[in-house]
Amino acid sequence: MPVLAEVIQKVTVPQGVQVTIQGASNKTTVKGPKGELSRTFRSRGVHMRVEGNAVVVEKAMPRKKEKAAVGTFASHVQNMITGVTKGWTYHMKAVFNHFPIKMTAQGDTFLIENFLGERAPRKATILPGVKVTVKGADVTVEGTDIQSVSQTAANIESATRIRNKDIRVFQDGVYITKKGE
């Protein structure tokens, strides 16, 4: 079995997107038509650099976890590039059988009122840089950072988790139906 001396992954940078990498901490900044994202990638010995129209992520003499880190860093950079060019969108749908749910987005809080007939509204946090729109029973979560968008959708979904009731009967909630670019 041959021993790999080096692991290299390349991420192509499209036209209109600018990527800069600063120093040994691999602080990566991606600028595009929809905005700017910045992130620091820390791992011992994993180096990143911009080479022409590609970002090169490499590690010499990798162990198993270091090899995995190279692929993970390359995927994160690809997601950042997709975010500043196309953006990320999660579609959610409110499902209710017993009591009609009223949903509103107010600043950095998402309110779910009349959930299972409860008097107090349930609240979910909307992370910075994420836009949430409500049209009837449909909720759209949009933004450039995939982590903020997905975490906001997860916050909304988990705010409607049902406790102490049979989930086969009480299937009410706000659920993710579609996600992607």
User: Above 70 in pLDDT, residue 67?
Assistant: yes
- The mean pLDDT value for 169-178 works out to 90
User: 118, 122, 177: which is closest to 155 by C-alpha?
Assistant: 122
Tens digits of per-residue pLDDT, 1-55?
555 578 888 999 999 999 999 987 889 999 999 999 999 988 878 889 899 899 9
Q: What's the full length of the chain, in residues?
A: 181
Q: What is the CATH number of domain 6-85?
A: 3.90.930.12
Residue 82 has pLDDT above 90, yes or no: yes
Q: What are phi and psi of 144, to 5 degrees?
A: -95, -30
63 versus 29: the higher-pLDDT residue is: 29
pLDDT of residue 153: 96
Domains 6-85 and 88-180 share a fold: yes
Amino acid sitting at position 174: V
| Percentage helix, strand, coil for the chain under 3-state DSSP, each rounded to 5 | 20, 45, 35
Q: Where are the domains of the chain?
A: 6-85, 88-180
CATH class of the structural domain 88-180: alpha beta
